[in-house]
Amino acid sequence: MKGLMIQGTASNVGKSFIVTAICRWLSNQGYRVAPFKSQNMSNNSYVTEWGTEIGRAQGVQAEACRTPALPEMNPILLKPRSDQRAEVICLGESVKTFSGRDYREGFYEKGLQAIKHSLDILNASFDYIIIEGAGSPVEVNLNDRELVNMSVADLADVPVLLAADIDRGGVFASIIGTLELLPPHHRKRVQGIIINKFRGDPALFEDGRVWIEAYTGLPVLGVLPHIEHHMEAEDSLSLRPAAISSVSGAVDLAVIVFPYVSNFTDVDPFYKEKDVSIRYVYKPEEFGSPDAVILPGTRSTIEDLQDLRHKGLAEAVTSFIHKGGTAAGICGGYQMLTQQLTDEKDCWEGLGVLPMSAVFHRNKQTKRVQGEVHPSSGFTRASVEGYEIHLGEVTREAGKLSPLFILEGCEEGAVLEGGRVIGTHLHHVFHNDSFRSDWLNKLRRTKSLPLNFENPEQRDPYDQVADHLENEVDTAALMHVLNGKGLPL
């Protein structure tokens, strides 16, 4: 098949970023292109149009390709539930929760067949497949049954480009070490190197580039400068840095980070707001005196609620809310705000903010939804859209709380005291510009800040990264690799 694979010298070197850029660059030239990652470990997931679940990065990459996301683009998604166990999503559907050992011993063959099937489906429908690896291809203790790097390159029979992150330091050792540890038949698949996250004048790295090419015999196709972009992050390794606003008296937004935080990209739209500072809070001493707190989604609501209590953060959050603070709970964070959480066997005390209860079921709901802001919510009527991924249902007593939304004809979410506290299962709730502005304006009024009802138009982030790639990478050589032709240095 036509395509290539981006592998990395380590995790978080920018593989997802580079794959996304290549996908949009090819799409801009009129090609039918599909992203692919055989196995993804992340609590950030994406719901397709058919209600199936894949890794968020592959959903974003499909958007960059201008094509609907398919479960075959990420046939295996692992969602950690503890340090040693993860839920396995195969071709968009939940299979079961495995330990690491059980997964390697009991799921390997099924996973391999799902990968082969997916590659065949994509190869029949697209001109190019751009494949993303995971971590490093030289995890020698795992390579006998790996499903993510060179084994996939072999299945697809595609060339490999090696990505390295110069920002973290040690770029020469990471490149040479990776290549040296590859067996000869896999070393031959590597056709070039891309260096990512360079800061400063690229001309100052020219000697380094010459040395790498001379030592490895491989071309450095590009040195990508570090850029700020607005694409969503893939996993908790990629939590965006705190954003400190230069606006005097800016809104101070505290985001609670759970051990199993999921779909934290729900807070990404606040980075576009010039008068909002964003802080990530891991422990009570970091809580401070925010203007609002957000409790995001979590893959393990009960475990993260217990962790919140163990650290003392639960007391900080509830004290803040009871003293009049503004809060928003999304999915698992919404469930934590209730009085009680139960499943078939056990019952747990919630944070007690909302007079509601949450009940967990075995079957997960995954769906895209559309609707509008509820007329009694205290927020401006506007359309909203997003997606739901949750096991629990939240029930409220009639008359005690207003619903937040009407989604697909049903009331959803909860509003306390005119919007001071809100809860919803709707992921991407703050990606709805009108609702986000309305929520923020309640805070702006208390701080005498100007009301911003509209954000300035921002450039399509996919075109931004595609142009970045085209400006900094030898795209003629890249196309040569895509078409299966070797690259002599």
Catalytic center residues: 331, 427
Question: In terms of DSSP bridges, do strands 356-373 and 383-396 run parallel, antiparallel, or are they unpaired?
Answer: antiparallel
Rounded Cα distance between 389 and 425, Å, is: 8
Alpha-carbon span 254 to 278, nearest angstrom:
6
DSSP 266: G
Altogether, the residues listed in the chain come to a count of 489
Among candidates 484, 470, 489, 369, which has minimal Cα distance to 127? 484
Amino acid 124 reads A
Interacting residues of 327 by C-beta distance below 8 A, sequence separation 6+: 292, 293, 294, 295, 317, 320, 321, 337, 353, 420, 421, 422
Tokens of 265: 């990209």
CA atoms within 13 A on the CB side of 167: 13
**C-alpha of 388 from chain center:** 15
Place of tokens 């719901």: 47
Beta bridge partners, 473, equal 222
Strand 85-90 relative to strand 93-99, pairing = antiparallel
Amino acid (1-letter code) at residue 72: E
Segments of 106-247 assigned E as strands? 128-132, 160-165, 190-198, 220-225
HSE on the CB side for 84, CA within 13 Å? 3
Residue 220 to residue 166: CA distance in whole angstroms? 13
Instruction: Kindly state the helix (H) or strand (E) to which residue 156 belongs, with its residue range.
Output: helix 150-156
Q: Of 235, 231, 213, which is closest to residue 223 (Cα–Cα)?
A: 213
Strand, coil or helix: 420: coil
Phi-psi region of 66 (alpha: psi -120 to 50; beta: other; left: phi over 0): left
- The single-letter DSSP state of residue 68 is -
**Pairwise CA distance, residues 237 & 15, whole Å:** 13
**Residues 451-467 as b or e (16 or more Cβ within 10 Å = b):** ebeeeeeeeebbebbbe
Beta bridge partners of 390: 365
Q: Do the strands 53-55 and 33-36 form a parallel or antiparallel pair, or are they unpaired?
A: unpaired
Q: How far is CA 262 from the centre of its chain?
A: 8
